């Protein structure tokens, strides 16, 4: 059995390939075997009782834990620099498990800036049904004044979906710790290759693993990472009780995706920078929202906490809804679809898709206009993507 030499700090590409896994002990298989079992035997009566009480390690039931899923969890934890991680069936399952495990009636959660539409729904619509109060602040400058004795969680996405707002994670972590609250960062857009929130002081980091972590548009999953003291109740209360466990088949695809994560994210980030600079100079485009552009309000903060600026951008087209419709329908290489972080470049109209369930006034406050288009840059040749965008913008 091989073991990683941890006498020196390993690079992210090495961790992505080897972190959290070893060749299979039974067969020597390098690729993690898929353990397609719903239940696991235990040797005797007393052992079963000890496993259910937590006194003895061992697998019991795949809703609680599964060997293939465990490898994915360990691998993601290694990349995020976390003590442990828990995987869920989707990004929304991960978010829901986290919030319902950490919050009880009477608590308050502060959410900063814009959130993904599904997350907005949980925070603004679902949590209040259980006596949990959401408090919204538009940016980190408003955070300190929003704390009360009931604040238990601070939630942020950075870069944010879909407008690419950037929040200072170190400052959020500092203020949350001072107030005795748990800080939670959605790191889906940045991935651990570009940003490691736990190193900046954030308590819990989570992902929609469907996006960059899977990376191939063929798996759905979510994952939460952090210290065991916080992750264990998320597994026990959030995952086991709500039942949103990750399938071992999906876990195997996500393990495969993690192995190429640094290569894919770097390629898409470098292309996105060139694409953003091209769009920034186009007469049909009013604004490009991309933190790699110096005029972006979050450029300085992003430069401090990101390795590169990521593969996602949004553009505000002159001409509003009609311009967005025409532009999206004319794209050829770039596929019109929701989701992001795929090997394929994707584009969508958030106001009518990902954020359509968000109240119109909330969309307006968040800058999600009828002319806003979100673009996820894949790993195609940069020149081909720019040519596709150029022809789609002609005549607008």
Quick one: 80 and 183 in the same domain? Answer: yes
- Residue % of the chain over a pLDDT of 90: 87
Partners of 224 in the beta sheet?
A: 86, 206
Element (H, E) at 72: helix 67-80
Residues 133 and 269 in one domain: no
| pLDDT per residue as tens digits for the range 27-42 | 999 999 999 999 999 9
Out of 51, 75, 107, 116, pick the active-site residue.
116
Nearest to 91 by CA among 219, 181, 182, 256: 219
Q: What one-character DSSP code corresponds to residue 8?
A: S
What is the model's pLDDT at position 182?
98
pLDDT tens-digit series, residues 182-212: 999 999 999 999 999 999 999 999 999 999 9
What was the pLDDT predicted at 1? 45
pLDDT of residue 6: 53
194 and 69, same domain (yes or no): yes
**Same-domain status, 140 and 170:** yes
Mean pLDDT of 146-167: 95
Nearest to 197 by CA among 232, 230, 229, 159: 159
Mean pLDDT over all residues of the chain? 94
Q: Quick: pLDDT tens for 354-387.
A: 788 777 887 887 788 999 999 999 999 999 999 9
Q: How many domains does the chain have?
A: 2
8 pLDDT higher than 80: no
- Whether residue 212 sits in one domain with residue 272: no
Predicted confidence band of residue 2 (pLDDT cuts 50, 70, 90): low
Please check whether residue 126 lies inside any domain of the structure: yes
**What domain range includes position 53?**
12-259
Three-state SS string over 321-333 comes to: HHHHHHHHHHCCC
Same domain? For 78 and 184 the reply is: yes
Examine the residue annotation and report whether 63 is marked as an active-site residue of this protein.
yes
CATH number of the domain encompassing residue 144 = 3.40.640.10
Which tens digit of pLDDT belongs to each residue from 62-91?
999 999 999 999 999 999 999 999 999 999
* Annotated active-site residue in 51, 196, 211, 363: 211
Is 280 noted as a catalytic residue in this protein? Answer: no
* Active-site residue identified among 50, 63, 177, 259: 63
Report the length, in residues, of the chain.
Answer: 396
User: Strand, helix or coil at 157?
Assistant: strand
Catalytic residue, chosen from 186, 203, 342, 388, is 186
């Amino acid at each position: 059995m091989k073991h990683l030499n941890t006498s020196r700090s390993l690079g992210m590409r090495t961790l992505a390939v080897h972190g959290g896994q070893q060749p299979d002990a039974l067969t020597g298989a390098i690729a993690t075997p898929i353990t397609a079992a719903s239940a696991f035997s235990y040797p005797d009566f007393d052992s079963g009782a000890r496993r259910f009480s937590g006194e003895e390690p061992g697998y019991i039931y795949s809703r609680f834990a599964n060997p293939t899923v465990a490898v994915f969890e360990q691998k993601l934890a290694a990349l995020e620099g976390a003590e442990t991680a828990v995987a869920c069936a989707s990004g929304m399952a991960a978010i829901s498990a986290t919030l319902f495990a950490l919050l009880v009636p009477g608590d308050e959660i502060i959410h900063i800036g814009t959130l993904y539409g599904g997350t907005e729904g949980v925070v603004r619509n679902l949590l209040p049904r259980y006596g949990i109060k959401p408090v919204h602040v538009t940016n980190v400058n408003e955070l300190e004044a929003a704390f009360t004795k009931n604040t238990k969680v601070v939630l942020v996405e950075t870069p944010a979906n879909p407008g690419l707002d950037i929040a200072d994670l170190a400052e959020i972590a500092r203020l949350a710790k001072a107030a005795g609250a748990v800080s939670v960062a959605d790191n889906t857009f940045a991935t651990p290759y570009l940003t490691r929130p736990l190193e900046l002081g954030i308590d819990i980091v989570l992902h929609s693993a469907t996006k960059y972590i899977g990376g191939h548009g063929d798996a759905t999953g979510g994952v939460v990472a952090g210290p065991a003291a916080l992750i264990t109740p998320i597994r026990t209360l959030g995952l086991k009780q709500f039942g949103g466990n990750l399938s071992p088949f999906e876990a195997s695809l996500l393990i495969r995706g993690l192995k190429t994560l640094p290569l894919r994210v770097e390629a898409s980030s470098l292309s996105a920078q060139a694409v953003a600079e091209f769009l920034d100079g186009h007469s049909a485009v009013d604004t490009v929202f991309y933190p790699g552009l110096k005029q972006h309000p979050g450029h300085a903060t992003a430069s401090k906490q990101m390795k590169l600026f990521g593969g996602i951008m949004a553009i505000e087209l002159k001409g509003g809804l009609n311009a967005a419709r025409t532009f999206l329908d004319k794209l050829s290489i770039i596929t019109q679809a929701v989701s992001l972080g795929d090997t394929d470049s994707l584009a969508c109209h958030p106001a009518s898709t990902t954020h359509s369930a968000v109240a119109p006034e909330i969309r307006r406050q968040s800058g999600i206009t009828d002319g806003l288009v979100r673009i996820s840059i894949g790993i195609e040749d940069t020149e081909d993507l720019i040519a596709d965008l150029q022809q789609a913008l002609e005549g607008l």
